[in-house]
Structure 1
Amino acid sequence: MSHAIETIDLKKNYGSHAAIRGLSITVEPGTVFGLIGPNGAGKTTTLRMLLDVIRPSSGVARVLGETPQAGGPALRRRIGFVPGELRLEGRIRGRALLRHYAEISGQVAPGAVDDLADRLGVDLNREVRKLSKGNKQKLGLIQAFMHRPELLVLDEPTSGLDPLVQREFLTMVREARANGQTILLSSHVLSEIQQTADQVAVLSDGLIVAEGDVAALRLGRIRRVRASFTGIAAAALRQELDHLPTLRDIDIDVTGTEPVRLTATIDGDIDPLVKLLARHSVLDLAVEEPDLEESVLQLYGSSANGRNGEVRHG
Structure 2
Amino acid sequence: MQIDRRQMLAGLSGLALSGVPSMSLARSAMQLGEGAVIALSDGNLVLPASFFFEGLPEDELDLILARHNVPRDELTPPCNLTLLRQPGRTVLFDAGAGPAFMPSTGKLLDSLEAEGLAPDDITHVVFTHAHPDHLWGVLDDFDDPVFGSAELMIGQAEWDYWTDPDTVDTIDEGRASFAVGAARRLSAIEDQVTFFKGGDEILPGVMAHSTPGHTPGHMSFEIRDGTSAVMVIGDAIGNDHVAFERPGWAIGSDQDTDLGAQTRVRLLDQLATDDIAIIGFHLSHGGLGRVERAGDNYRFVAKDA
Greater Cα radius of gyration, structure 1 or 2: 1
TM value normalised by structure 2: 0.33
Which structure carries more relative contact order (alpha carbon 8 Å, separation 6+)? 1
TM value normalised by structure 1: 0.33
